[in-house]
Amino acid sequence: MNVDENIFFYLAIAVSLVSFGVAYYFYHWVKSQKSNNERIAEIGSYIRKGSNTFLKKEYIVLSQFAGVIAVLILLFLPEPIWNGKATDNIGMAVCYLLGTVFSAFAGKVGIEVATIANMKAAEAAKEGIKPSFLVGFRGGSVMGMSVVGTSLLGVTLVYALTHDSSMVLGFSFGASSLALFAKAGGGIFTKTADISADLVGKVELSIPEDDPRNPAVIADNVGDNVGDVAGMGADLFDSNVAAMTAALVIAMSLDKGKGNTNIAMIFCYAALGLLASVIGVLSARMGKKGDPTKALNNSTYITTVIFAGLTAVATWAFDMEWRIWGATAIGLAVGVIIGFASDYFTNDNKKPVRYVAKASNMGPAFTIISGVCYGFLSVLPSMIGIAISAVLAYNICDPIGDGYAMFGISMAAMGMLSIVGMIISNDAYGPIVDNARGLAEMGDLGDEVLDITDQLDSAGNTVKAITKGFAIGAAGLTIISLLGAFMSEVNVAAVEKGLEKITGFDIMNPMVFFGILIGTATPAVFSAMLMLGVDRNAQRMVAEIHRQFKEIPGLKEGKKGVTPEYDKCIEIATTGALRELIPAGLVSIVLTLAVGFVGGVYAIGGFLTGNIASGLLLALFMSNSGGLWDNAKKYVESGHEGGKGSDTHKAAVVGDTVGDPFKDTAGPSLNTQVTVVSLVASIMATLFLSFHIFG
């Protein structure tokens, strides 16, 4: 490389600031759109207040948890404070807290814009599908630009100030641990309300989805924001930070005594990825009679091409290693392939969704059986894609030198997440237009507006499945590279202690196999605990809805002036989510620590391997089957297979309620779970090497 490496640090900071500028512009553009319907403003204020109230209570709980973890880090990491340098422990604790703060900020930004954009998008639909789409997309783009700008700026500053892998890992662990609990808590809240509203409203009483008579309807709309916006923002913030962290830890090992060529390349590619996303969101458009799904997907593919071109030019101009560019390009291409696979299994224009809708004619059992089968089938192409990208990236970069093969995998993960700014923009669009659809119905804006918002909502569901495919695929490659980062951290400690370096994990080693078995079971236990939380909470809310319909005179009939006690359902969802969010995440962390202190670093290697394979399979299965059931229900509601109110519709709604905690609670939370346990293993590597019972 023939330029000063520091130029790429400045580039990363500059592009982050540009993304903040674009976010600020879109935020004010969305706020400036017309909004004069008093009923929509009233309901929108309920949603905004409920979302912010939940977020405040959740962050109070999580700040207490983060405080405890920070104290433990201060005492024990990277070495027990009485053995090592106190400044290292203090620095790592501060970086951990910084990661949690940045992650929380990502969620707060999402709530702030989404609870304004939903009202604006609903009223914009009166002017047609094009202006409503643009409000929803630009509202989502505020979050996309803010989250990725914050993650890039955070990692850049932590590295620039410390040049220490432990500090970068501490920052990433802070982001991941908060994201894990924020996604879990938001997912439990949103699916509690969604399931309860659908089962009582659609199945029992055959009333519309967002009928204001339903006591759970406001909680359902609040849930879209706290789960699909705030939780998802923290989740993808974590994914982006973790991908950069894994690459940085390996690059720091490779660059020792040889300059910072690989580190500079990471910041260069990350900055260009965000710049490509900035260009993509600024150029996103849809025709007056266009297809919103096509518009969203085209934006993603255009951004992909821009990133590939920019990084190729940078690689040539600064004489970087073309093999590493190739690994990055492979990750990017496989991300698109995973997106296509997810689209096939979740798009209502494709065979699987229509087959499940048709199967619903025979009752909910067939809805569930067919959806489960297609969900499992959908796993194979994505898993093959992740596997092939890892193998190709490994082999392309292996000839560069020792350690570069694993670095290639980490750069493939960065490639897959390079356009994460566009991915988040598309993903955040979904809950905004979903809320807009509910507001349009509750504000009585008419059937034409409802048709427009239904089209936008369906596009959001389809694209959300694609973006989740990107996120899950990137999580897979990231945690494979985090396994490499774990080995790097272990070997650094081994050299310091005069021990032999580890070169791999032999499955015939009983400690490795012990770890694999427990690691494979952990994602299943984690998922079950989250979904049981939804189950318990939803049962309490259904009982409350029944009570209100029974005890409030005129509510069921919709008499004028009679309104449900919306706040009771919001309180049930909030209390239950806060009660359930800590245990599942804590079990994953505790199991990691237990395996490490029992079997040492070899057991942890097996544990991470099993956790990766099982976590990816379950995440893909649940994300795709849930999206498939959701769009099968919407396909029936659009007039097919008997339409709304038919027995087929009721069966499809049952399938959707099963899929809800799959796609919006457990599935996306698994992305973060596999990342968290990998980071815990990396930051605890020295302790696992020094203190273990067997191995």
CA 407, CA 96: separation in Å to the nearest integer? 24
Please answer whether residues 87 and 1 qualify as being in contact, where contact means their C-beta atoms are separated by less than 8 angstroms.
Answer: no
> What is the number of other CB atoms lying within 10 angstroms of the CB of residue 380?
12
CA 191, CA 13: separation in Å to the nearest integer? 38
Q: Is 85 helix (H, G, I), strand (E, B) or coil?
A: coil
pLDDT at residue number 615:
93
| Residue 647 tokens, joined | 């027995």
Contacts of 220 (CB under 8 A, 6+ apart): 190, 193, 194, 197, 210, 438
pLDDT at residue number 416:
82
Mean pLDDT split into 10-residue runs, the chain, 695 residues: 74 95 94 86 88 90 92 88 85 94 87 90 90 92 91 93 88 89 87 88 80 87 82 80 88 79 92 94 79 84 91 92 94 82 84 95 95 94 89 94 90 86 86 87 84 84 70 76 81 83 86 95 95 92 92 87 88 89 88 94 93 92 91 89 90 92 87 88 87 82
**What pTM value is reported for the model?**
0.88
pLDDT at residue number 185:
87
| Residue 486 tokens, joined | 């774990």
pLDDT at residue number 190:
87
CA 187, CA 533: separation in Å to the nearest integer? 10
* Sign of torsion over alpha carbons 447, 453, 455, 458: negative
Tokens 């030198």 correspond to what residue? 401
| Residue 87 tokens, joined | 């400044």
DSSP string, 395-439: HHHGGG-TTHHHHHHHHHHHHHTTTHHHHHHHHHHHHHHHHHHHH
